Amino acid sequence: MKVLGLTGSIGMGKSTAALAFRRLGVPVFDADATVHRLQGPGGRALAAIEAAFPGTVRDLPGGRRVDREALRRAVIGDDAALNRLERIIHPLVRDEERRFLARARRAGRRLAVLDIPLLLEGGGQRRVDTVVVVSAPAAVQRARVLRRRGMTPERLAAILARQMPDAEKRRLADHVIHTGLSRHAAQRAVRALVRRYAGPEARPLPPAATLC
């Protein structure tokens, strides 16, 4: 089974590319969604986060879970705190990733995708067979991100400071999907990758057959 690492900076269109892979029947591991589950009601990270950052786990609508805004305030601008949080979260995400890949292999998949925003920043390219970077012009990226609720230029700058520059990501990529042209162009690029790595077996799946 080939493992494709899908990555790209904020606002580059990675989520749209991941959806295109899913619609073609390719199982996709969503690292961000996994973090949300780990921090949500009954999540495996709750006890460790509450111990490290008291008061950030609260009874909220839907159940006891991490108050994401409180946790963001606890780590923003504090590299030591952020590193402490990453030491809690990253091993749990890696464990979920291994389980996902094991399920895909048992299902006889020829291709699986790991959708990981900071794949290259964390050296994750060593865990995949090929790296796909999603990219768009900086002006398009900025316009997309600033349309998000609660986003500010200052917050965007802080996020980008933690991410590898787009040009460097493209240099390290095996393939680049350009999303600043049109959605159809990006979808064609995804279909080409699926044909290359999964062959004709990839096909749309009913919801009950998805792996993640």
State yes or no: 123 annotated in a binding site.
no
Taking 50 as the threshold, does the pLDDT of residue 204 lie above it? Answer: no
User: Mind giving me the DSSP string for 52-88?
Assistant: HSTT-EEEETTEEEE-HHHHHHHHTT-HHHHHHHHHH
Token reading at 100? 């996902």
State yes or no: 13 annotated in a binding site.
yes
pLDDT digits (tens, 9 = 90+) for 140-166: 999 999 999 989 999 899 889 889 999
| Per-residue pLDDT band at 107 (split at 50, 70, 90) | very high
Please name the residue ranges forming H helices in the chain: 14-23, 31-39, 46-52, 68-75, 79-106, 138-146, 153-161, 166-172, 183-198
What is this structure's pTM? 0.88
Q: Which fold has domain 1-24+111-194?
A: Rossmann fold (3.40.50)
Give me the long-range contacts of 78-84 (CB less than 8 A, separation at least 24).
81/53, 84/52
The confidence score (pLDDT) of residue 104 equals 97
The confidence score (pLDDT) of residue 200 equals 61
State yes or no: 14 annotated in a binding site.
yes
**CA-CA distance, 197 to 50, in Å (whole number)?**
42
Listed in sequence order, the residues at least 6 apart from 63 whose beta carbon sits closer than 8 Å to its beta carbon are: 40, 41, 42
Taking 70 as the threshold, does the pLDDT of residue 43 lie above it? Answer: yes
The confidence score (pLDDT) of residue 76 equals 84
pLDDT digits (tens, 9 = 90+) for 173-194: 999 999 987 778 888 999 999 9
The confidence score (pLDDT) of residue 108 equals 94
Mean pLDDT for the stretch of residues 47-58 = 96
Of residues 199 and 61, which shows the higher confidence score?
A: 61
Q: Rounded to an integer, what is the distance from CA 117 to the centroid of its chain?
A: 4
Which of 57-61, 171-175, 196-200 has the largest mean confidence? 171-175
| Per-residue pLDDT band at 210 (split at 50, 70, 90) | very low
Of residues 202 and 101, which shows the higher confidence score?
A: 101
3-state secondary structure of 9: coil
Whether the CB-CB separation of 152 and 140 falls below 8 Å is answered with no
- List the chain domain ranges: 1-24+111-194, 27-107
3-state secondary structure of 28: strand
